[in-house]
Amino acid sequence: MSLFVSMHVDCPECDHTNTMDAVGSVNADRRPDLREDILEDRFQIIKCANCDTEFRLQPEFNYLDVENGLWILAMPADGVADYIENEDKTTALFGTSYGADAPDAAQTVGDNLTCRLTFGWLAAREKLVLRIAGLDDIIVEMMKMDLLRRMPGAHFDIGVELRVTSVSDENLELAWVRADSEEALEFMAVSKEAYFSVENARDQWGGIEAQLTDGPFVDIQKLFLGGGRNQDAAE
């Protein structure tokens, strides 16, 4: 089921204390309206009762979507700095919910789920957009790396990320965004040929793919955050 808890949140504009139902978990199969709210970027947005400013809490919930074969632990954007610790938390939670430590019936469900960890709303939404479009998020992240190598105007500021916002028959629409505020800095359209080019040369990406998939946080950000899991284990 989908779980919500009532909590008090202060408006970032006027400091008025508002009450809202904050999400703890989403079952998109039972509540497809919540899936749609995430896709439409309107989930968990609250309007201040005092000044009408709209804002939303950073995500901290798990998302189950059996129809689309996806399970996500969505965390606040600033949690990315501790992604290895959060990967371990994600793996453990998925394991007890749908993995090896879960009841047999839940394991049967889990066999058809992809487990992912995300940071910030736009990252969680991106995973859902890609899954519904039938695209492999691992290939997409490697495609982003390929784009960055050839893109003279890439944004490399701290907290700025490259996210897929939509997928059409011909293109992937991407945006440079600020993870915490969700502000879009620049948009671009990339032909699906860029995706298929990486997919067809997947064997040449073995080292990068291994780093991307050494935990449930499948995102090029992890490639820029120090030595990663292997170095952490060596130390």
> pLDDT, tens digit, for every residue of 159-187?
899 999 999 999 999 999 999 899 999 99
pLDDT category at 224 given cuts 50, 70, 90 is confident
**Mean pLDDT rounded to a whole number for the chain:** 93
Query: For residue 80, which phi and psi values (nearest 5 degrees)?
Result: -60, -30
Residue 212 belongs to domain spanning: 58-234
Query: What pLDDT does residue 233 have?
Result: 40
Instruction: Please indicate, yes or no, if residue 164 is contained in any of the structural domains.
Output: yes
**Banded pLDDT at 231 (limits 50, 70, 90):** low
The residue-averaged pLDDT of 42-66 equals 96
Backbone angles phi, psi at 225, to 5 degrees: -110, 60
At 184-201, the pLDDT tens digits run: 999 999 999 999 999 999
Is 67 a domain residue? yes
Average pLDDT over residues 125-154: 93
How large is the average pLDDT for residues 200-205?
Answer: 95
Can you name the residues that pair with 177 across neighbouring β-strands?
A: 161, 184
39 located within any domain: no
CA distance 125 to 37: 10
| Residue 12: pLDDT band with limits 50, 70, 90 | very high
Going by pLDDT thresholds of 50, 70 and 90, the confidence category of residue 235 is: very low
pTM (2 decimals)?
0.93
In a domain, 33, yes or no: no
Structurally, the chain folds into a number of domains equal to 1
Q: Quick check: is 141 in a domain? A: yes
Q: What's the mean pLDDT in 199-212?
A: 94
Residue 4 lies in a domain: no
pLDDT at 20: 95
3-state DSSP helix/strand/coil % of the chain, to nearest 5: 40, 30, 30
Residue 185 resides in a domain: yes
In a domain, 25, yes or no: no
